[in-house]
Structures are given as structure tokens and as C-alpha cells.
Structure 1
């Protein structure tokens, strides 16, 4: 929270600036065309009250699905033992836990059975955020080079971000709705009808159009929020007063006032002037970059942060925490260097980052841009919506152009550089964090593949799921590389339900192992046989995907039951102490996709030291994948090379005339 002195000074600064600009900006302040990115006829949270609740799967269904996922991973004797544990769990211990979970769920109808435990799981993890948790999503470049400069793009994206935020806060951001048939449901009639319905039944009206509103609860955590490290368990901080953003350049931190005293977005010329003022600042790189501390193990960072606050830096930390979001200005030029782009936006060198913020909008020296976001508060659905909306708005409706003049006011009235008081203890902590982070980043390998000859359309023509084909490629590539199958994680959103988070799809199935064994065997079957096997893989994967999206996976259910068992004390059910349970939750292949025309690529780190983090893209005109690994435990270059072979084989089968 702000101290009263800081609040007074900040309000005084904004008030004086408002007087200077009130005459020429008075009419524009009230102009919704500038203040809001959207004015939806249906309120943002209109469907929230009537969203269906995340279902608790039947215990016997969860046990069956769990065994099906274990079957391709275990030897015959191992599977036999695991099946005994699962049978006992289903018939004995699990029944009591299931009743406890249902009872809790019945008493907490405002949320989902997984939400509280999932938040808790994230916030208790002591691992550093970058690479381990924070993913990067990279924007498609501006098509017009003159708009892709750092100054113009950063300012336009800043303005679009503020317009998105104000629309969200005013409740006029268009609700997120999944339209099964957009031509029939994404229409004026749909929004007219659903707007007229009371919020308590509005979801049912959308359902009649074969459209499914999604949970919007996470959106409130996008702005003015941060994760604060504390011993044992972090906490999420949210502010209702911050009217400034945090800007970082060369490890130096600045706050920039972006809203006036009435909460209106300042004129484009003023925001342009503020960005130019910081970009033109010739101050040297910070000798002790405070942001590197956010790369630390969470308990370590918690101790250092408390020391910083106790040694005269509490107001600066409050300004960082309450800022609307973090805008990163990097000096480097990306150009065509894809590897540099992936590396910089996923982790960089840590000196010019504040990884705790809900999200950071990163803009390189040549305008290449990305979002790096903290993961505990929410998932990719909310972030992707933000990315798509501000990309569209900043490119189709830019407020700053090459000829836009900066305001006549002094930008120093809006920009404040944060000066930290650092004693020897703090300096030593910064140097230690920098050394450790450099070692981590040096051991991380990032590799990628892009296929323009293969795309979603080929998959659709062959009546197979593009996502299943990508996942099948990963299975075949890993099997070729290591001669075995391992636990594989694919994230699936459950945002169709109130306070849904994610569910796990388990892409390694008996169907995929059968196909991969045949594909990589010396005595390979005919293309006709392989194509039939491939289609079976697609059918199985489609079923798993549908089940997960409908809250009918097994991972989150077993997770919630285990949390209850631990709270009850005593001995855990044998299912949870079985080595097979530990193995299936040791995700060597961790995969996720966020496909959008606004996104060039995305990436994240492996979740285990000897694993791969695989982010992939499926578009109408290309397929792509980015793989990360830690040397010497795994080699993502070898995995990508193997993946190329697998995709070639798979698409040869799809394209073969049989």
C-alpha cells in the first residue's frame, strides 16, 4: 500500500498536470472512442453468475482413465500392481475422500473444487518463476516497418493496453464466448437476446445458440497486481489505486503516470513524450539491477525483499507492486534472429525484468514485442485475449504515428526514476542472484522448427485432428530418440466452467505407442495400415480432449483428493505412494499451444530437469514447435531433429494415396 505521503505527492503531481492539459484535452477525455477499446452491449461479467460449475468426475471414471493413461507407460508386472492399488482406492479409501470433496463443493458454490488448491499449489512452490513458470508469448510484428520502431510500437501498445483495462473495469469488454458455429451465433441477434436475459440465466440463452460463455474471473487479476514472495507461501497483491505503469530500461526502474485524476487515459502525445523521455535517457545500465532478485528461489527472494523494505525501499516496492503493468524496453535488436527472440523474451539476462508482475509487455529495440507472464493468478486464456485485442487495436487503430508530435509539457512531471537504497547485504544478494541466473540460462537450450509445407488444412482434409498430429509427432520423436515412452502433459482449459483452471490431456496412449512402434520398426506396415492407426490415434486424442475440456480428466480430481487425504493426516492411500503415480506426474514432455494470428511464437521451460518444454503452433498455413531443455540432461536440438523426421513420416502417410 502507498504511504499517505506518497499518495499526497502523487495526487498533487497528477493534479498539476491535469490543469496544464485540461483545456485542449477536455473534450477528448470524455471520448469513448479513445478511452475504451470496446463498448460491448453485453456486460463483461453478464454470464458469470450462470456459468455451470466444474463437475467432480465419478470416482470410478477417474480410476479407469488413470489406468488407461498408465497402461502405455508401465511394464506388465508394474501395471498389475498399480491396478491393485487403484482398485482398492476406488472401493475403499477413495469413497470417503470423494464424499468429503463433494461436501466441500456443495458448501462453496461460488467457486470450483480445484480453484483454491490450485492457487495454493502455485503459491507454495519455492522454485524461481522465470523459465520454470513464466511463459513468453511473442506478437506478430507490425506489417508497416515505420510503426514497428520501439518508441511508436511501445506507445501504441501501451495505449491499447490501457483502453483494454478501462473497458474491463467499466464492464464493457466483450465477454469471452466460444462459438461452435460463429456464423450462426456470433451475431447481433445473439448479443441482443442474451443481453435481455437476467445474469442468473444468461448462460442458458447462449447455450440455445450453441455458444458457450467462458469464465472471466481471472481477467480481474490482469492489472495493478503482482505476486509477492513470502516465506513458505507467496501471496497475490492487487491494488485499486495505481494509475501508473512500471517501465524498465537497462535495469533501471521508472514509474510513469498514465491516467489523470479522473482515471482517464492521458493524451497520446503525453504518453509518447514519456516513452521518448525514457528511451532517450542516457543513464548507464544499473550496476546493481534490482529486478534480478525476482529470478531467485522464492524463500531467498522473500528474505531479501523484506531486507530491502526494512532499509528504506518500501515505498519503491509499493510503487512497483501497485503499477498497472510492467513495460520492458530492451536495447537489443532482434531482426531475423529467432533464437535470440525466443531466448530474450523467455528469460533474457534477468537484469531488465520484474518477473513477479502479473505480466510484462516487452518491446525490443526494433519493436519486436512479447508478453512474459506470471502464472499463479491465471492461465493462457485471459492473456491470449489481452494479446489478441491489443494487437488488433494497436495495428488497426494506432493512436501514435510517425508524424505524431510529443506534448509541450515536461515529461519529467510524469516520469519518476526509482532510486533504491542498497546496503552491502542487498548488493551481495543481487550479485549472487545474477550469478545463479546466468548459470541456469547458460544450461537452457532452445530450439525450434517451422513447417510451411504442413498445416491445419492438410489435417482437416484427412479428417484428423491437427492437435493429435502434433502430439503424435512428439511421441514418435521422443521414442525414436530414447526408445521408450514417458509421461506427457498437454494443458487444456476448463474455462467453460465457473472458476475453471486447466485439466491435463495425456497424449501418450496405447494407440500412439502402437503407432510409434510400427512407424519406427524395421518391418514397417503399409501406408494404408499406418493411416488407419493414425486415424485411431486422432479419435482417441479427440475423446481425451473433449473429456478434459468438460472437466472429465483424472489429474485434477486425483490432485484434489490427495490434498484432502493429506489434510486428514495418517497414511496416504497406496495409489499416491505407488512409484507409477510419481512417474506419471513427472512430466518429461510438457506441452502447450496457444494458436492465434496475433502470435508469432511462444515458449516455456521444461518442468523437470531431464524433460522438454514444447510450445507449438497450429495455423492454416503452417505448423511450428519450440522445444527447451537443460543440458546435459536433455538435448532439444536432437529432439527437434527427430521431430522433423516424424512429421515428414506422418505427413507422407497422410498424403499417400491408399
Structure 2
């Protein structure tokens, strides 16, 4: 699984803006916002001066690295993982590939890329990689990001928060589709580029040149091509390769509760948002429905192996369910209302990552999950896009629902009779389909029962202290993972950190490889030789790790890693029917792609937790964030690894690092 949450770049994608804790002013505005339709402010989150897709046409293209640079970077990443004999053999294979098959494939890839200037060289292979995967999307692909609680606690009521989130989500969709959503821009100098005057100027620059205008003031527009898949979209299982389906004509919301499925229109015939009181009424009706959970909850089929699900879906179609499946697939998004309250953050992680399998439709582009006590999260299907689009959506929804909620705890539902509006979906099931649902539930239970999640908070320092020491916060967090793993298992292993390449047209992600010769030297000094180096020497090692990690991060964000290039060359060889060069069969190549430490980071004013399962059976799935004065990790594992012990080792490693930063020796 390619990790969801894009690092460095995405962590600073959006300027956050302070939250408004007082609701009085916003509620008086909210009532006015629903006084008119047809383009009134009720329909949109905001109205950008610059059209949403203004920069899309002129975005720079994702570069294909030089083959010699890719091989050099690949060998540098292999060096800490191999002994001298292994490295010598791998180096020979890599050089032979570079001068032979690799050279021919690279030239063909470059020629192909020149013929397809509308996209990137990685886009089609990456879609294919996801859609051709036959494993369940649950645990293997879908990640989650949980919302922070509303700062005004009374708004964390399931019905109130659910109504507000539905309204804000639809307004986000309408703002996007009207071209009024602020373009996604990474501002290096916001005082110049994130201003009304600049926006008034840049909107008149032709789209074919607009990126260059932003670049002149140190602003970097990001690719927004994935955004249209946020709504009315789903992944449809097919034998061998799934399909992505989008039907923007859908006006309805899919709601799940106790495994039952309901729909109601949230846009009227003129495609205006229903009043919040009507949505409030419909959700209240669903929450008060006494219907028991179905004996055969259909949603669990979306957790199955994709070929198994494809066969069962065909049987569903043959059994007369074509129209009801079309309704599910074309819904604007899925809202999952859970009847449980959450005990703690570990319970939240399990619930939002996988739940019970019955009250989810994992194939939807995203689902908003709301528990009985108002905890909320987004679980999203990963093939259509990456964390950049989902994080932007989540930030906007949180900001809108906490600053300008349309429903408050004393609101009353509309007088409309929701029983005539809300439709409960029913499916025709035969014995074979019922048996398929039972088997899917058994498989789901067996898979999630093996997953353990634990979390850690290091409270003795964070971003502020690290920056004062001129150290990269991300580099130090990654170093702590290397140090923790060495402390626990006595070795250095393949490590993956996701990095967005959204600065380029149809960019996806690139891999940062945090395990380096510098981190290996440093972690051995901390773990295996404490007290044998002076504090000054240890500080120098930390600085060296930070500098090199910063270089790797910049290279990855600029499309200059090695993983995607080598992936594309292998994909091209397979597409041509060529036999793979021995380079791809080298145990070292297979080992570096067996990512035991799979990591992803973000910090956001909207997100409290993010998480995903390990990508290999003997791995860890590490979601983390480096905050101003603390560092948090949310880590998953299967039985082959002990996540509790790992986090203890990471905590001890951070303690040692910060002890050195204070100028004190470690023992």
C-alpha cells in the first residue's frame, strides 16, 4: 500500500487560521446565509477571486530523473541495508541494468512521456497499480484521518455535528464545481502571494501562463486534478482490474446505520442545498429508526478480495439490484452513523480504520464516520487520489463547521415528514449471495483480529526546540524510528516515507528513504555505544542526519527520488512483454520494497489522528506528527511485531536525542 498522508509539502499546504470559539456572531450570520439561493453565500464556502483550476493548465510536468541519478540514489539507499558482499553484488546488477535494459527502457519512457504532455509519466501506471491489486481495500489501502473534536463541546452531538458536516461537505462540493474554491497553493512568501492584490492581478493572467506568475512571487500552485473524484464517486470491483466511476448527476447522500442503508436528496432539483433544518430532520429520522441490523449486511462485501467481490457484485446485478447499486455508486458521499461511543484513541483508530465491516461502504471515494459521542473521521479509498485533496477537504469542513455552524444544539428539525423523503435501500439476495456475505464477514473478522494499534505522546520537546537547534523536525522523528527499531530488533530495515509530488501536473507521491548511512551511524552511536562519543560528536551526527534527510525530502518533492522511476521502468517492461532484468529479481531490490517501517506524517488544525495498517505482515504502519512542543505516533502492527515495545523504544530514543540537545550525555 502506498501511504496516504503526503509529508513535508502537504503538512504546510494550507494556512490554518484561528478557530472562532464564540458562536453568537456566526449563528446570526448563518440565518442570513439561508435567506436566498441561486449563488447566494448559503451555497458556497467562499468565493475565490482566482478560479479553482486557474493554474492547472500551466503546471510544470513531473520530471523523469536521469537514469544515472536514479541508480546512484538507489545504491545510496541500499548501502545501510546490505553487508559489503551483498552491496557489491547489487551494485554490479544496477550498473549492468543502467548500461543495458535500463537505458533502453528509460529512452522509451522519455519518448512516451513526450507524447503525453497532458499528464505525468507515473499517473497511468500508478492508477493501474492500485486498481489491479486484488487484496481487500480494508487494511491494505484505505487509511483514515480523524477530526479533532469541536472546541465547543455541545456541538459534538452526533446529530448536530453530522448535519453541520453534511452541509459543509456539500457546500465544499458546490464551491469546487462552481470554480470558486481557492486554488491549492504552497506559499513560500505569503505576504506577497497570498494577498487580495496579487489575486486580482493573477486572475487576469492567461491560464497557460498563470503558474509562472505565481512562481515569480515564490508561490507554487498544486495539482488539483484529483479533486473531481471526491464526490459522486466509487471504486467498482471488476475481475482483474477495478474501475473508477463518477456520476455528478447524483443529488443524494448515502447514510449507513447498523448496516442498513438509506438515501435522501441533499440537493433540490435546481441543485441547491436543502435547508439545514431539513437535513437535520432526515438524519434525526434515520437515527431514530428502530430497524434491527440486517442479517446479511451488504456493506461487508466491499471488504472482500476484489475478484471475489466482483463475482458477487455480478450476481447482485443478475438478481435485480442494478438500480439500487447505481444509487449507492452515484451518491455524493457516504455518511456512516455508528451507534458506539469511543472509549479512547485506540478505539477510535480501530473504528475509523476498519470498524465492524458492516456499517461501511469502503469503495466510496470517502466516507465521513460519526460515532454516537460525536467523534468523526474520514476513511477514504486510495486509488483515485492522495492525501492532499482529502486533507484540504477535511481542513475546510472542520473550519466551516466550527466557525460557522448551520445547526446548533437548540435547533429544531424541519416540519417536513422525513418518512416520505428518506428511502431505505433493500436488496434482493439469494442463498449464494447470503453465503458470500457470511464468508466476507468471517474473512473480515479474521483480518482485523490480527491488527494491533498503539499510540505514544512524547511531551519533552517538539518542533520549536528542534528548529532552535537548526534540526529538521521530520528528520529527528524518522531518526527516532530508526533508533527504536535498532533498539528492539538490532538492525536497520527498509523504510518508506510518503512525499507528495502535487507541485507537478498529475503528480502523485514519491518515496523518501529515511534509512541512510548517516542514520545508521548515528543510531549505532546512541544505542550500541552510549557514552563512547562526546555530546559535541553526537550533536554533529544529528546535524548530519538532518541535513541529508532534508536533501532527500527536497529531491522527492521535486520528483527526483528513485522509487517511482524504477517502478515506471518495470511497468513499461511488463507492458511490452519483456522479461525483467535480473536487477528487479535481486533479493536486495525485493527487500528494499518490503517496507517494514511504512511511515506518513501530517499536522493540521483539523486532524487529531491518522492511521493505516502495516504494508507487510512483519511491518509497522507509523502515522506521526511533530507538534510545537510534543511528538505523537499512532502505530499499527500484526502479530509478527510488538507495537507496544516498539513505541517504548521510540520514546526512549526521543528521550536520548533531547537529552543530547540539552547538552547532557546519555548513558
2:419 corresponds to: 412
RMSD in angstroms over aligned alpha carbons? 1.3
Instruction: Report deviation, 1:453.
Output: 2.8
- 8 Å contact kept, 2:458–2:654: no
For the residues of structure 2 that align with 1:483 and 1:171, how far apart are their CA atoms? 54
Match of 1:33 in 2: 41
Partner of 1:391: 398
Identify the residue that residue 212 of structure 2 maps to in structure 1: 204
Query: Is the aligned partner of 1:616 residue 2:624?
Result: yes
- Residue 657 of structure 1: CA displacement? 6.1
Between stretches 342-351 and 516-525, larger displacement belongs to 516-525
Residues 33, 40 of structure 2: 8 Å contact kept: no
- Conserved? CA contact 2:256–2:335, under 8 Å: yes
Q: Which stretch shifts more, 505-514 or 416-425?
A: 416-425
1:557-636 equivalent positions in 2, closer than 5 A: 557-631=565-639, 633-636=640-643
Give the whole-Å Cα distance in 2 for the aligned partners of 1:32 and 1:25. 7
Aligned to 1:96: 104
Size of the aligned set, in residue pairs, is 633
CA distance in 1, matches of 2:115, 2:301: 41
Match of 2:433 among 411, 416, 426: 426
Tell me, in whole angstroms, the C-alpha distance in 2 between the residues paired with 1:504 and 1:95. Answer: 22
* Pairing of 1:34-53 with structure 2 (within 5 A): 34-53=42-61
Offset, 1:240: 2.0
Matched, 1:234 2:238: no
How far is 1:623 from its partner? 1.4
> Per-residue deviation at 1:134?
0.4
Local SS of the residue matching 1:490: strand
1:29 aligned counterpart, secondary structure: coil
Match of 1:14 in 2: none
Q: Secondary structure at the match of 2:261?
A: strand
1:650 CA drift (Å): 1.1
In structure 2, how many angstroms separate the alpha carbons of the residues matched to 1:203 and 1:260? 37
* 3-state SS of 2:384 partner: coil
| Whole-angstrom distance in 2 between the partners of 1:657 and 1:639 | 25
Aligned to 1:262: 270
Matches within 5 A, 1:168-247: 168-247=176-255
Q: Is the aligned partner of 1:72 residue 2:66?
A: no
Q: Which ranges in structure 1 are unaligned for 5 or more consecutive residues?
A: 1-23
Q: In the TM superposition, what whole-angstrom CA distance separates every residue of 1:10-47 from its partner, at most 9, and x where no partner exists?
A: xxxxxxxxxxxxxx999522352210011001000000
The Cα shift of 1:652 comes to 1.2
Tell me the residue number matched to 1:315: 323
In structure 1, what is the Cα distance between the partners aligned to 2:33 and 2:87?
71
**CA apart distance, 1:185:** 2.1
Q: Deviation per CA, 1:359-403, whole angstroms, max 9, x where unpaired? A: 000010011100000000000000000000000001100000122
- Secondary structure at 1:503 match in 2: strand
Alignment of 1:135 with 2:162, yes or no, is no
Runs of at least 5 residues in structure 2 that lack an aligned partner in the other structure: 1-31
Q: CA deviation at 1:181?
A: 2.1
Checking the alignment, whether the CA contact within 8 Å between 1:193 and 1:205 is kept in structure 2 is: no
**85 and 283 in structure 1: CA distance in 2 versus 1, 3 angstrom threshold:** same
8 A contact 1:25–1:267 mirrored in 2: no
After superposition, residues 251-400 of structure 1 pair within 5 angstroms as 251-334=259-342, 337-400=344-407
Counterpart-to-counterpart distance in 2, 1:418 and 1:405: 27
Deviations 1:595-647 (A, max 9, x none): 1011001000000011010001122232100110111x111111111111111
Aligned counterparts, 1:110-149, within 5 A? 110-149=118-157
Residue in structure 2 matching 1:449, options 450, 456, 465: 456
Instruction: Name the counterpart of 2:11.
Output: none
Q: Distance in 2 between matches of 1:360 and 1:26?
A: 26
SS at match of 1:560: helix
Bigger relative contact order (CA 8 A; separation at least 6): 2
> Any conservation in 1 of the 2:500–2:509 contact (CA below 8 Å)?
yes
Whether contact under 8 Å (1:270, 1:407) holds in the other structure is: yes
Aligned to 1:201, what secondary structure does the other structure show?
helix
